[in-house]
Amino acid sequence: MGVTADQKTAQQTTVDVRATGHVRRDLGEHHFEFTFTGETLGDFLAAFFEEHGCEDLLLAETESEETAHGWANYPGDPPGRWERNPEGERTRAYARVLVNGRFNELYDGFATELEDGDRVALMYPFMFCC
């Protein structure tokens, strides 16, 4: 017997939330569990922002909000894997959402499926150091 869409939507998932920087400051704590209805990163973020706010710290509404300025021009294509979430699912410049230590866009973006016990990190500011 399969799972109906209503049963799937009613799925409760509990994740381990970690917060850094300004997100941690606004939340008042850096580590806690959060239970939400659903099983994707998008479901988590919607429920989390409804309860805790912080959306303006993490999500970009425009391309200029997601773009860091001041980088040196790189001749040709830079090395490595360069992924980005679809419009409406992008983070602000210097903000990141990670699942189990990896950037969400390296999985399936906000469609990434979460399981009980997964770690979701909400980081702002995020600095990448070489």
Whether the Cβ atoms of residue 96 and residue 103 lie closer than 8 Å to each other:
yes
Grouping H, G, I as helix, E, B as strand and the rest as coil, residue 44 is helix
| Helix or strand run (H / E) with residue 5 | helix 5-9
For residue 50, the one-letter residue type is: E
pLDDT at 46 over 80: yes
Give the phi and the psi of residue 80 in degrees, each rounded to 5: 95, -175
Express each pLDDT in 54-72 by its tens digit: 999 998 887 777 766 666 6
pLDDT at 19 over 70: yes
For residue 66, the one-letter residue type is: E
Could you tell me which residues come within 8 angstroms of residue 58 by beta carbon, excluding any fewer than 6 positions away?
23, 91, 92, 95, 97, 122, 124
Distance between CA atoms of 122 and 130, rounded to whole angstroms? 21
Percent of residues, the chain, with pLDDT higher than 70: 76
Give the pLDDT band of residue 76 (cuts 50, 70, 90): confident
